């Protein structure tokens, strides 16, 4: 809202400065109501009379900036590092301790195998463990929602022409959870038994 107000006041000033605004009131009070102060007058500023005075002002400003920078650097050094140096790169160092020893051992065994004229082959394997997650059974209202959603999706799908060989969505049957589990057990059981 402030941006809009600022844009409107700027536009109003422009219109008044061009003499395009018409006011119903006449007199000095009507023009002063909408007048905004655009420039600031500083009584402490002095006019520079010589080049030496200008250079002195520039040097004072530069000294002030240098002092501010030095204060910032000194404060940063006083604060020190808030991170514990023992914890810094802990995982990286732990890995390097394991890897460097293993790499030097493998390099030694490779050199020894070449000296004896034997082949040295490094086999690598990866193992991934997935911990079982026990999920609770769904409530009846959740199951009813999923069945209804599956039933309504049959009507949303596109029915392609029979010549394309794409099955009609209305021919699909919405199976209950017990039916799905029974179908899975039947398929899985037939694979195991065969």
For the chain, residues with pLDDT lower than 50 are: 21-32, 191-194
154 contacts 169 by C-beta, under 8 angstroms: yes
* Torsion angle, alpha carbons of 81, 84, 85, 89, to 10: -110
Taking only the tens place, the pLDDT of each residue in 37-63 is 555 555 566 777 888 999 999 999 999
Scan for tokens 């920078």, then name that residue: 69
DSSP H/E element including 81? none
Average pLDDT, the chain: 78
Identify how many contiguous H helices and E strands the chain contains and give both numbers: 6, 0
Burial class (CB in 10 A: 0-12, 13-18, 19+), 188: exposed
């Amino acid at each position: 809202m402030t941006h809009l107000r600022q844009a409107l006041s700027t536009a109003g000033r422009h219109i008044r400065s061009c003499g395009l605004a018409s006011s119903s009131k006449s007199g000095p009070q009507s023009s002063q109501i909408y007048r905004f102060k655009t420039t600031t007058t500083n009584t402490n500023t002095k006019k520079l009379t010589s080049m030496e005075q200008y250079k002195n002002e520039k040097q004072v400003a530069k000294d002030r900036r240098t002092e501010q920078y030095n204060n910032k650097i000194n404060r940063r050094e006083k604060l020190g590092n808030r991170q514990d140096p023992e914890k810094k790169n802990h995982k990286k160092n732990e890995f390097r301790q394991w890897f460097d020893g293993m790499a030097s051992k493998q390099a030694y065994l490779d050199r020894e195998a070449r000296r004896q004229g034997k082949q040295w082959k490094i086999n690598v394997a990866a193992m991934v463990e997935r911990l079982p997650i026990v999920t609770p059974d769904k409530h009846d209202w959740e199951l009813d929602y999923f069945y209804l959603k599956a039933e309504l999706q049959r009507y949303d799908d596109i029915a392609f022409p029979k010549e394309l060989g794409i099955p009609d969505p209305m021919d699909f049957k919405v199976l209950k959870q017990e039916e799905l589990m029974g179908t899975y057990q039947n398929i899985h059981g037939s694979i195991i038994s065969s």
